[in-house]
Chains A and B, each alone.
Chain A
Amino acid sequence: EDKVVQSPLSLVVHEGDTVTLNCSYEVTNFRSLLWYKQEKKAPTFLFMLTSSGIEKKSGRLSSILDKKELFSILNITATQTGDSAVYLCAVPKGYSGGGADGLTFGKGTHLIIQP
């Protein structure tokens, strides 16, 4: 059974700090790993990672994958109160790993940025 474990489960930091969120996985047929941000209700897509060592970057957010050690990290630099959210890590289900069969999610990291 596929498994995704995120840490920490919750994190409180001050505005301007840098945070690192962790995601480890065990999957039968790994193809990719996805990061989502969930504020209030709907998760919104951040990154998809498929190759080891290649950093994906979007503004102050960046993510990297280590396929040998089976983990990914999500970094947020110069945090702002608007970054407060639950950050979810997920891997595609199914034999093909392509994602048509849905995603297996971790429990998420609840990040709170204090002013």
Chain B
Amino acid sequence: EADIYQTPRYLVIGTGKKITLECSQTMGHDKMYWYQQDPGMELHLIHYSYGVNSTEKGDLSSESTVSRIRTEHFPLTLESARPSHTSQYLCASGSGTTSHGYTFGSGTRLTVV
């Protein structure tokens, strides 16, 4: 039973289009994260948030942007999609300590053609 929801699950979109990947959690977690994962590769942190109105860039340079207006919602936006953005995007949330790990969403598989 998922407590963190990502939509859409799959998206195929043309180059130059603006897209928003949605992520919502019902656990009241302050900390939320976006990771990017290519097939057979490790997860790379691209954005994170400590709480409402907080956003930080991760290790991997990304042309995406995020916002955190509400605790439960952490959308990721690409203003102009390119084929290099083709990847899987995973959202996660946590209470701020690692004692129970983070909870991950099921991911969005994005293909830009």
Contacts and interface: CB of A to CB of B under 8 A. Distances in A.
B98 A105 contact: no
Nearest to A31: B98
Interface stretch (A13-21, A42-50, A67-75, A76-84): A42-50
B96 A42 contact: no
How many of chain A's residues touch chain B, expressed as a range? 20 to 34
A55 interface: no
B101 A107 contact: no
Given A99-B97, A99-B98, A100-B50, A44 B104 contact: yes
Given A41-B106, A41-B107, A42-B90, A98 B41 contact: no
B107 A103 contact: no
Contacts of A110: 40
A47 to B, nearest CB: 8
Given A42-B107, A103-B102, 17 more contacts: A34-B101, A36-B104, A41-B88, A41-B90, A42-B90, A42-B106, A43-B43, A43-B104, A88-B43, A90-B43, A92-B98, A98-B96, A100-B50, A102-B33, A102-B45, A105-B44, A107-B40
7 contacts: A4-B42, A41-B88, A42-B105, A45-B103, A101-B48, A102-B35, A110-B40
